A and B are shown apart, each in its own frame.
Chain A
Amino acid sequence: MSYSNKIKDIYLHQLEEIRNAGIYKEERFIHSSQAADIEVEFPEGAGLKNVINMCSNNYLGLSSHPDVLNAAHEGLEKRGYGMSSVRFICGTQDIHRELENRVTEFLGTEDTILFPSCMDANAGVFEAILTSEDIMISDRLVHASIIDGMRLCSAQHDTFKHSNIEHLEEKLQLHADKRIKLVITDGVFSMDGDLAKLDEMVNLCEKYDAMILVDDSHSSGFIGRTGRGTHEHFNVIGKIDIITTTFGKALGGASGGCVSGRKEIIQMCRQRARPYLFSNTISPVIISGVLKVFDILSSSTERRDKLEKNAAWWRKGLTDAGFIVKEGNSPIVPVMLFNAKLSQDFSKDLYNEGIYAIGFFFPVVPNGQARIRTQISAGHEIHHLEKALTAFIKVGEKYGILGLTKEKIVEKYGP
Chain B
Amino acid sequence: MEEDIKDLILNYVINEYIEDEDEVITYDTPLISSGYVDSFSMVSLLVFLENKFKIKIPPAKATPEAFDTVNNIVALVNQYIKKE
Contacts and interface: CB of A to CB of B under 8 A. Distances in A.
A188 B45 CA distance: 28
B58 interface: no
Contacts, number: 30
Interface in B7-48: 19-20, 34-35, 38, 40-41, 43-44, 47
Nearest to B34: A367
A411 B71 CA distance: 30
A140 B43 CA distance: 13
A363 B47 CA distance: 27
B19 A162 contact: yes
Given A156-B43, A363-B35, 18 more contacts: A138-B40, A140-B38, A147-B38, A147-B40, A150-B40, A157-B43, A158-B44, A159-B38, A159-B41, A159-B43, A159-B44, A161-B19, A174-B44, A174-B47, A362-B35, A366-B20, A366-B35, A368-B20
A234 to B, nearest CB: 23
Contacts of A367: 34-35
A171 B19 contact: no
Interface string B56-74: 0000000000000000000
Contact of A158 (B19, B35, B43): B43
B16 to A, nearest CB: 8
A119 B40 CA distance: 19
Contacts of B34: 367
10 contacts: A138-B40, A140-B38, A150-B40, A156-B43, A158-B41, A158-B44, A159-B38, A174-B44, A367-B35, A368-B20
Interface residues of B, number: 10
Contacts of B47: 174
Interface in A152-197: 156-159, 161-162, 171, 174
Interface of B: 19-20, 34-35, 38, 40-41, 43-44, 47
A150 B43 CA distance: 14
Contacts of B44: 158-159, 171, 174
Nearest to B48: A174
Given A162-B19, A174-B47, A157 B35 contact: no
Nearest to A410: B22
Nearest to A136: B40
Nearest to A156: B43
B8 to A, nearest CB: 18
Contacts of A161: 19
Most buried by A among B40, B44, B47: B40
A161 B20 CA distance: 11
Nearest to A140: B41
Contacts of B20: 366, 368
A366 B44 CA distance: 20
Contacts of A159: 38, 40-41, 43-44
Interface string A122-164: 0000000000000000101000000100100000111101100
Contacts of B43: 156-159
A404 to B, nearest CB: 16
Nearest to B23: A368
Most buried by B among A138, A150, A157: A157
B29 to A, nearest CB: 11
A138 B43 CA distance: 12
Closest 10 CB pairs of A and B: A159-B41, A158-B43, A157-B40, A159-B40, A367-B35, A158-B44, A161-B19, A363-B35, A366-B35, A367-B34
Contacts of A147: 38, 40
A22 to B, nearest CB: 16
A362 B34 CA distance: 10
A59 B47 CA distance: 42
A97 B19 CA distance: 44
B32 to A, nearest CB: 12
Interface in A353-387: 362-363, 366-368
Most buried by B among A138, A150, A159, A174: A159
Interface string A197-238: 000000000000000000000000000000000000000000
Contacts of A156: 43
A4 to B, nearest CB: 30
